[in-house]
Amino acid sequence: MSLLQSTQFRPDPSANATRRAWIGAWPEFQNPAAWLVALILVIMPLIANGFFLIEIFATTLILGIIALSLMFLAGYGGMVSLMQLTIAGFAGYMVAVFGMSGNANISLGWPWWLATPMALALATLFGTLGGALAVRTEGIYTIMITLAIGAAFYYFTNQNWTIFNGHTGINTVATPHFWGVDWRSDIAFYYVTLGVAAICYFAVQYVSRAPFGLALQGVRDNSRRMAALGFNPNAHRIAAYAFAAFIAALGGVLQVWNYRQISPGSVSVGACIDVLIIAVVGGITRPIGPFIGALIFVLLRTFALDVLIKFGLDGNRFRLLIGLGFLAIVFWSSDGVIGLWERWRRNASATQSPGGGRHG
């Protein structure tokens, strides 16, 4: 980690000081590969049809946003929180409860521009309170307490009929229509998702280099020393939870707009762990990791069944293929796909021109 940071901040003698600082803060603007990926993402509706656009790429971005919130906590704060999906699900439920849906006896019928901020605020509050509880613990105990919050929420939604409508969940959730655009139509929704994902990505990137993020990383590495320097480690951690909860909540709102329904299956313990898998497979050292992990996850989840049948194998075993895929990635690289990429880049630059090339 510290090695990565130092390579990113390596001074470039050909540029002046301000430019250097700017590049230091936003290294991806220097990287042609990043520009190419951005361009492809922007023109994606020209390349991909409705299914790939929504079911693969928009879903990837949504899951990526939720996993990004975990990456922020785990990567910069050293806190592995399994309740990020629960926060997202909570936001989704709140959109359904405050907004309009097919269950008129539950939904309050607020317009989307009122229901959505309300959902985001409540989910952020929920995440902050959960975080305030979790910061009293460390390591495995943080995982356990956040998992307990996730499991409790799952069983609560499953059994509560007055607000969450039990196992049936809330169907036909209304999605925003304004300026004459149906924002849930495929292309519009893809751009909304892409926009939110980009904002979240750059926000995390920015915060990680802002004084707050640096202090958070200090807390992660040595909280006692930070306390001695006059920082309040727990306040930093709770603030990190609040920030991550807001990001997760954004993902949750997009999720419920995507499927137009939400039910306890969306916030199950299995789904909470899926988010951890996504973050670990992608790599929790950089904000791009969760998005890569999400893409791999979505591709495997969608196509594993088809692939097995194509090879004449028993389609019922497709979960095995998914598991093996993840096992292979984690086995070859303990810091996910990002780690593989870093290592490949390092080897390539070592054999060709030593010291050349930046990371993307």
Partner 1 sequence: MLKGSLGLIALSSLLLSGTAFAQEKIKVGVTATLEGTYTVLGEDGMRGHQTALNVLGKKIGDKELEFVVASTDATPDSAVRAVRKLIEQDKVQILLSPLSGDEGIAVKNFAKTHPELTFVNAASGAQETTYVDPAPNFFRYNMDGAQWQVGLGKYAYETKGYRKIATVGEDYSFIYTQVFGLVLEFCGAGGQVTNRQWVPLGTKDFASVIAALPDDVDAIYLGLGGADAVNFLNQYQQAGGKAHLMGGSIMIDQTILSSKGSAKNALVGTIAASGQADTWEDPGWQKFVKAYQDSFPESKRFPSPSLLATNYYGSTMALILALRQVNGDLSNNQAKLKDALAKIEIDAPNGKIKLDSNRQAIGTNFVTEVVDDGKGALFSKVVKVIPNVNQTLGYDPAVFAKIGLPSRTVPECKKY
Which residues are at the interface with partner 1 (CB under 8 A)? Answer: 32-33, 36, 40, 47-52, 54-55, 102, 155, 158-159, 161, 166-169, 171-172, 259-266, 268, 302, 305, 315-316, 318-319
Residue closer to partner 1 (CB basis): 136 or 319: 319
Distance in Å, CB of 76 to partner 1, minimum? 27
**CA separation for the pair 267, 249 (Å, rounded):** 13
Distance in Å, CB of 128 to partner 1, minimum? 27
Residue closer to partner 1 (CB basis): 36 or 235: 36
Residue closer to partner 1 (CB basis): 73 or 85: 85
Check the CA dihedral 47-48-49-54 and report its sign.
Answer: negative
Distance in Å, CB of 96 to partner 1, minimum? 13
Distance in Å, CB of 119 to partner 1, minimum? 18
Distance in Å, CB of 40 to partner 1, minimum? 6
**CA separation for the pair 41, 191 (Å, rounded):** 9
Distance in Å, CB of 318 to partner 1, minimum? 7
Distance in Å, CB of 125 to partner 1, minimum? 25
Residue closer to partner 1 (CB basis): 26 or 52: 52
Distance in Å, CB of 39 to partner 1, minimum? 10
Residue closer to partner 1 (CB basis): 133 or 151: 151
Cβ neighbours of 26 (radius 10 Å)? 15
- 296 neighbors 324 (Cβ within 8 angstroms): no
Residue closer to partner 1 (CB basis): 30 or 137: 30
Distance in Å, CB of 60 to partner 1, minimum? 13
Residue closer to partner 1 (CB basis): 172 or 347: 172
Residue closer to partner 1 (CB basis): 168 or 232: 168
- 99 neighbors 91 (Cβ within 8 angstroms): no
- Report the Cα–Cα distance between both ends of the chain, in Å, rounded: 15
Residue closer to partner 1 (CB basis): 116 or 268: 268
Residue closer to partner 1 (CB basis): 205 or 263: 263
Distance in Å, CB of 300 to partner 1, minimum? 14
- Three-state SS letters, the chain: CHHHHHHHCCCCCCCCHHHHHHHHHCHHHHCHHHHHHHHHHHCHHHHCCHHHHHHHHHHHHHHHHHHHHHHHHHHHHCCCCCCHHHHHHHHHHHHHHHCCCCCCCCCCCCCHHHHHHHHHHHHHHHHHHHHHHHCCCCCHHHHHHHHHHHHHHHHHHHHCCCCCCHHHCECCCCCCEECCEECCCHHHHHHHHHHHHHHHHHHHHHHHHCHHHHHHHHHHHCHHHHHHCCCCHHHHHHHHHHHHHHHHHHHHHHHHHHHCCECHHHHCHHHHHHHHHHHHHHCCCCCHHHHHHHHHHHHHHHHHHHHHHHCCCCHHHHHHHHHHHHHHHHHHCCCHHHHHHHHHHHHHHHHCCCCCCCCC
